[in-house]
Amino acid sequence: MSSILEVSGLRKVYTTRFGAVQVEALKNVNFSVEQGEYLAIMGESGSGKTTLLNLLAALDKPTSGSILLDGQPLDRLKESEIASFRRDNLGFVFQEFNLLDTFSVEDNILLPLVLAGLSYREMRSRLEPLAESLGLTPLLKKFPYEISGGQKQRAAVARALITQPKLLLADEPTGALDSNSTDELLRLFSAINRAGQTVLMVTHSVKAASHATRVLFIRDGEVFHQLYRGESSTEQFYQKISDTLTLLATGGEV
């Protein structure tokens, strides 16, 4: 298996405006993601999860260290290339859905394709099977304010997948959902992953993480520990993650 993402020696320091205070959000992060993997990154608030995700999405530049996506170093990308790189290679799902309220569900999903300059027919041919598989077909003409949170998140997933990205990045995707919608979304992620999509999810929900094939734990800006699912069931994996977190919280070493 080849790694699709390689992160090595990643460090990010935030400096307050007048340089008085420096905050080291990430110290030294190293990990890699294999093709077809479903990786969850866990950590408490302030552990550096969001910083990591911003760096992976090329929304921010690291202080030092490198990120290779499919062999291509992100920090070498020019400012003008970043946006189209992001559009072609990465799909995003956010906690707050981030649908544009001026667009119908259909237009929201098509947005990345429109930006990429595809013809309408091509867009439709990609949209139809995707919308069908995500159960979005009856909702396509609706507007974000007319549908539930779970439905919005499914639309956001469809928007992320329609470009057929190399890597799907999810930032607390279940954070704003009720438990039914959460279950539904996690089943969806698993299904997508089984179909071959590489997924990287940042979360602090044990339940969400227990669906992944591997879990990384971040604490104070460093990868602290990792767990492989192996042959264990979702319930067993849930227990393992939970135990690890307890250990982390009580300050023990694994």
Q: Taking the complex as a whole, how short is the minimal distance between the CB of residue 172 and another protein, in angstroms? A: 14
- Looking at the Cβ atoms of 161 and 206, the one nearer to another protein is 161
Tokens of 221: 């800006």
| Cβ pair 119, 199 in contact under 8 A | no
Q: Which is nearer to another protein, 126 or 214 (CB)?
A: 126
Where does this chain bind another protein (CB under 8 A)? 57, 59, 79-80, 82-84, 86-88, 92, 94, 98-104, 107, 110-112, 114-117, 119-120, 123, 143-146, 159, 163
CA dist., res. 70 & res. 67, Å (int): 10
Which of 98, 95, 97, 92 has its CA nearest to residue 173? 95
CB 19 → another protein: shortest distance, Å? Answer: 20
Residue 53 burial (CB count, 10 A): 21
Q: Tell me the closest approach of the beta carbon of residue 248 to another protein, in angstroms.
A: 30
Nearer to another protein, 88 or 132 (CB): 88
How many C-beta neighbours within 10 Å does residue 6 have? 16
Judged by beta carbon, residue 13 or residue 57, the one nearer another protein is 57
- Interacting residues of 146 by C-beta distance below 8 A, sequence separation 6+: none
Provide, rounded to whole angstroms, the least separation between the CB of residue 101 and another protein.
7
Min separation Cβ 233 and another protein, Å: 34
CB of 105 to another protein, least distance (A): 12
Nearer to another protein, 101 or 231 (CB): 101
Contact at 8 Å (CB) between 46 and 23? Answer: no
**How many CB atoms sit inside 10 A of residue 18's CB?**
6
Q: Quick one: tokens of 233? A: 């069931």
Tokens (6 digits) for 216 = 């990384």
Smaller CB separation from another protein, 93 or 136: 93
CB of 181 within 8 A of CB of 107?
A: no
